[in-house]
Amino acid sequence: MLDAAGADGAMTSMARKPTPEQRQKLAPEIENLLWGLFGPNDRPFFDRGDIAPLTLDEFVQCDEVFEETFRFLDALTAIWNRLCPGRPLKPCTQDRQPKEIAMPMALPVQSETPVSRREASKAGEALAATEANIEETKAMSLPHPPDTPTSGSVQGAPGQVPAASIAPAKPREPRATFQLPNGKVGVDYAARIEGRDAEGRSVRIRDVRIPDGLGLSFDPDRGELRGTPALDGDHRLPLSWTLDEKTRYSGDCLLIVNPDPKSLWKVIEPPDGSPYLKPHADRRLLTGRGFSIAAASRRGRSHEHAGTFRDDDFFIGHDAQTQWSVILVADGAGSARYSREGAWLAVASAGAHLSEALAGELGARMTAALDGWEADPEGVAQAMGAEFHYLFHQSGTLAVQSIEQAARSAGAEVRDYATTLLAAALKRQDRETFLAIFWVGDGAIAAYGPRGKVRLMGTPDGGEFAGQTRFLDRAALSDQGFAKRIGIGRYPDLTAVMLMTDGVSDPRFETDNGLNDPVKWDALWDEIAPLLATSEPDKCLLDWLHFFAPGHHDDRTLALLW
């Protein structure tokens, strides 16, 4: 802090805490210094636009503020004396005033920043206090050179404060609030900007400034934003508005544009050196006498994002001599660390056994039985059902044995290879299609067509909670209800036989009731039928399986005969 020391007025560094005498003597100078931080001057340090004058006055006169400012000036003086020895600073005290009087900062200052009614009221109180200060200033006997006006007087009228120096605060500009619904990148957007002033009156939007590249435009007649958002994020849109169509005011409106959910998914490769390597996608196409079989499988977005493998798998086969075909799909359990291998072992083991049996004597016997279907449909169906019951049980047993052998070799648990298994054996004869199926787990097997008709060939296994299902194991094979997992049928004019994992059935059908809804199957067929008419239907199916469905990001596998 600065202080006069001795007759020559030399400056010294004072104590760290002011004495009562120093506090009384220096209070006006410190208060003036603090007021100067808030203006009015060409470059105030703090913006006082939204601060009430009385609040500032209380701050300036606070003991803590006074003492901290005192310490700051004390340190500043010490630095001056060290850097500029022999050139002492002179104190600016009441008996040594500069040419200009620092007017109390409680004076209203014209500002571009609007003030509230409450602040304006306080400013009026401060103005009354200021006028009293002015009267006190008039009575002060301060030496000034002749004809030199002070900052608080007009030349020729000493001590008089010009009216311009006490200019009233600028009236507060009316304010309004605005609302817009959220948008989404890539989704068409059309929404009216709703605005109301402080009194709840509806306002009219005259113009909106829209950032380049946002993809929207403003319709002033309807007060709407239209277009397709291209940039996600929080966008402050400057705008002008009016109440009376004469005076315009400024404001802004927040528009939140959510990102395209597809852009948030990462594609991460599994760790190097992982066991049971598996491609992220697979597809295959077979053609027969008057029909085709295609299958496609791809890693789901959730597996891409987590950097894990595809757990789904499939098997398709056709014997040109007997004209029997087999289709299998499997979905490895997401919670089982080696389920990708379990799915492959299941379809490979069961598929090979089914193909071999139907290409041999069993296939010939089943073909002969079909020739007598028309004469005795119930008897033939019962006899063929028993044959396929045994065949599917054998195939399932071989699949379980393969999984158990793999677990022993790896020193792992059998449940680490948990998988579902859906299998079908088919034979096309002119307009008739015979179908025998085996079903363990979720997903779907359906005989679809003609349009508006579907036969769901079994019931998905579900658990107590969403996402739970039954997996292929010895318990499933020895269950007394095993026969319910077998189904056969012979259908005329069938459009297609479809097998799919739950990565396809869940987003497309959602519930068991949805699986039995022909309208949903018609909609699915309308999507994939054009793909099957191309030269590479399996490739087109693989691309189609990457469709986006919020909340459904599992692996997807679809295999069908049409």
Q: Do 122 and 180 belong to one domain? A: no
Question: Side chain identity at 41, as an amino acid letter?
Answer: N
Cα 521–Cα 525–Cα 530 angle in degrees, nearest 5: 170
pTM of the model: 0.62
Q: Do 286 and 403 belong to one domain? A: yes
Q: Do 291 and 251 belong to one domain? A: no
Question: What's the domain range around 535?
Answer: 281-561
The pLDDT, as a whole number, for residue 120 is: 40
Report CA 265 to chain centroid distance, whole Å: 10
The pLDDT, as a whole number, for residue 436 is: 98
- Report how far residue 34's alpha carbon sits from residue 25's, in angstroms, rounded to the nearest whole number: 16
The pLDDT, as a whole number, for residue 111 is: 35
Q: Do 303 and 450 belong to one domain? A: yes
Kindly state whether residue 151 falls inside one of the protein's structural domains. no
Q: Do 258 and 333 belong to one domain? A: no
Question: Of 122, 141, 160, at which residue does a domain stop?
Answer: 141
* Helix, strand and coil percent figures for the chain, each rounded to 5: 35, 25, 40
Give the domain CATH number at 260: 2.60.40.10
Give the max Cα distance, the chain: 136
Q: Do 40 and 185 belong to one domain? A: no
Instruction: With H, G, I as helix, E, B as strand and everything else as coil, classify residue 144.
Output: coil
Give residue for tokens 């789901």.
300
Beta strands per DSSP E along 59-212: 176-179, 183-184, 189-192, 194-197, 204-208
* Close Cβ partners of 329 (under 8 Å, ≥ 6 residues apart): 295, 297, 312, 313, 314, 347, 422, 443, 499, 500, 501, 557, 558, 559
Question: Side chain identity at 180, as an amino acid letter?
Answer: L
Kindly state whether residue 197 falls inside one of the protein's structural domains. yes
* Close Cβ partners of 509 (under 8 Å, ≥ 6 residues apart): 444, 515, 517, 520
The pLDDT, as a whole number, for residue 41 is: 63
Query: Mean pLDDT per 10-residue run, the chain (562 residues)?
Result: 38 57 77 75 72 71 82 84 81 46 36 38 41 38 39 42 50 86 96 94 94 95 95 95 91 94 89 96 94 97 96 97 97 96 98 98 96 94 96 98 98 97 95 96 96 94 65 94 95 96 96 94 98 98 95 96 97
Do 377 and 297 touch, CB atoms closer than 8 A? no
Kindly state whether residue 171 falls inside one of the protein's structural domains. no
Q: 359 is written with which tokens?
A: 């290409």
* Close Cβ partners of 276 (under 8 Å, ≥ 6 residues apart): 309, 338, 340, 341
- Report how far residue 31's alpha carbon sits from residue 60's, in angstroms, rounded to the nearest whole number: 6
Q: Do 224 and 297 belong to one domain? A: no
Cα 10–Cα 16–Cα 19 angle in degrees, nearest 5: 75
Kindly state whether residue 127 falls inside one of the protein's structural domains. yes
Q: Do 183 and 56 belong to one domain? A: no
Do 421 and 399 touch, CB atoms closer than 8 A? yes
Q: Do 99 and 183 belong to one domain? A: no
Strand 454-456 relative to strand 444-448: parallel, antiparallel, unpaired? antiparallel
Kindly state whether residue 252 falls inside one of the protein's structural domains. yes
Nearest to 12 by CA among 116, 98, 90, 64: 90
Taking each helix axis from N to C end, the angle separating 361-371 and 339-358, rounded to the nearest 10 degrees, works out to 70
Q: Do 128 and 190 belong to one domain? A: no
Q: Do 288 and 202 belong to one domain? A: no
Nearest to 20 by CA among 60, 66, 65, 57: 66
Total of domains in the chain: 3
Kindly state whether residue 147 falls inside one of the protein's structural domains. no
Kindly state whether residue 61 falls inside one of the protein's structural domains. yes
548 bridge partner residues: none
- The sign of the torsion formed by the CA atoms of 209, 211, 214, 215 equals positive
Do 294 and 541 touch, CB atoms closer than 8 A? yes
The pLDDT, as a whole number, for residue 84 is: 85
Kindly state whether residue 28 falls inside one of the protein's structural domains. yes
Question: Of 220, 237, 264, at which residue does a domain stop?
Answer: 264
> With helix as H, strand as E and coil as C, how does 176-193 read?
EEEECCCEECCCCEEEEC
Q: Do 355 and 247 belong to one domain? A: no
Helix (H) or strand (E) holding 249: strand 248-258
The pLDDT, as a whole number, for residue 73 is: 83
Give the domain CATH number at 366: 3.60.40.10
Q: Is 430 left (phi over 0), alpha (psi -120 to 50) or beta?
A: left
- Report how far residue 6's alpha carbon sits from residue 3's, in angstroms, rounded to the nearest whole number: 10
The pLDDT, as a whole number, for residue 53 is: 62
